[in-house]
């Protein structure tokens, strides 16, 4: 199975993001694409948006055997452990992102950190392209090194910034969002201050990134559907930090981890990779 190279580790440590070419084998990519297609054909609650051009669904591994197999069947958890210097890595959730051909929907600049009730520094995502994409076709872009700024920017939903509207997404989200002091700016307009890194990806390539880094995807300006899956990984120092307005996909009533404690519930957050048993 694929290991993180010394160059990839150095890039992640410096930039907060690294492109890992060919992280997932072609045969697995094909199975994942087929699984996403099945979800699109038979929408489950949450996937209806796909029909409108931009859609996502998440925490699939908990209820779908095929998505659970993907979590455990790729080198991604091990790559996440190597990138974050963790002995073990748990899965928080998986998430599918589909953008139909020529769909204009964007994910504007955001960090994942302020959405999640998770603390710590060893928390990363692996975003795996299941179809080819360039930045114009909605591959991810990052503000290099922004994970180290010690800043948490107000989350926005797509391009929505209205507090009341955001409160309808889930309870208290808008209130939580406006409680963060820093407001997103168009980082791309200040090349003297911020370096933007955009990627062109092939199926099976992974972008591994810190949950504090600013990232975005543009609308899909290509004539082909773009499909990607993100896995959210919790490394050694991840803690449970619930606040009202945090993403309820996993809520306090779902698990046994105490507020502020290290995440150790093996049922809700299964260990996917451990160097101790490797």
Ligand X SMILES: O=C(O)CCC(=O)C(=O)O
- What are the residues binding ligand X (CB under 6 A)? 97, 107, 112, 125, 127, 138, 215, 217, 228, 230
Give the residue with the Cβ less far from ligand X, 127 or 240. 127
Query: Least separation, in Å, of the C-beta of 56 and ligand X?
Result: 8
Matching residue, tokens 């046994």: 256
- Report d(CA 245, CA 137) in Å as an integer: 32
Give the residue with the Cβ less far from ligand X, 70 or 127. 127
Environment class of residue 17 by beta-carbon count within 10 Å: exposed (0-12), middle (13-18) or buried (19+)? buried
**The two structure tokens encoding residue 136:** 């114009």
Give the residue with the Cβ less far from ligand X, 86 or 220. 220
Query: Least separation, in Å, of the C-beta of 149 and ligand X?
Result: 18
Query: Least separation, in Å, of the C-beta of 230 and ligand X?
Result: 4
Query: Least separation, in Å, of the C-beta of 112 and ligand X?
Result: 5
Give the residue with the Cβ less far from ligand X, 180 or 274. 180
Give the residue with the Cβ less far from ligand X, 78 or 215. 215
Reference 156, options 188, 112, 110; nearest CA is: 110
Query: Least separation, in Å, of the C-beta of 166 and ligand X?
Result: 17
Give the residue with the Cβ less far from ligand X, 51 or 259. 51
- Report d(CA 186, CA 10) in Å as an integer: 28
Per the CB < 8 A criterion, the answer to whether 273 and 75 are in contact is: no
Query: Least separation, in Å, of the C-beta of 253 and ligand X?
Result: 25
């Amino acid at each position: 199975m694929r290991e993180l190279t010394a160059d990839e580790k150095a890039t992640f440590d410096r930039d907060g993001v690294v492109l890992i070419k060919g992280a997932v084998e072609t045969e697995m990519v094909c199975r994942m694409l087929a699984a996403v297609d099945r979800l699109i054909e038979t929408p489950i609650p949450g996937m209806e948006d796909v029909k409108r051009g931009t859609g996502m669904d998440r925490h699939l591994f908990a209820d779908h055997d095929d998505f659970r197999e993907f979590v455990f069947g790729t080198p991604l958890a091990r790559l996440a452990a190597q990138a974050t210097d963790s002995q073990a890595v748990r899965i928080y959730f998986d998430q599918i992102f589909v953008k139909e051909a020529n769909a204009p929907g964007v994910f504007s600049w955001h960090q994942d950190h302020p959405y999640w009730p998770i603390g710590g520094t060893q928390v990363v995502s692996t975003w795996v392209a299941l179809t080819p994409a360039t930045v114009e076709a909605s591959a991810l872009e990052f503000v290099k090194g922004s994970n180290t700024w010690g800043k948490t920017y107000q989350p926005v939903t797509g391009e929505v910034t209205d507090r009341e509207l955001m409160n309808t997404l889930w309870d208290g989200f808008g209130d939580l969002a406006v409680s963060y002091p820093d407001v997103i700016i168009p980082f791309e307009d200040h090349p003297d201050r911020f370096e933007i890194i955009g990627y062109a990806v092939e199926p099976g390539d992974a972008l591994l990134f810190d949950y504090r880094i600013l990232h975005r995807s543009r609308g899909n300006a290509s004539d082909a559907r773009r499909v990607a899956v993100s896995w959210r990984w919790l490394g050694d120092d991840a803690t449970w930090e619930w606040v009202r307005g945090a993403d309820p996909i996993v809520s306090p009533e779902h698990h046994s981890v105490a507020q502020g404690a290290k995440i150790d519930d093996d049922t809700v957050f299964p260990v996917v990779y451990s160097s101790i048993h490797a």
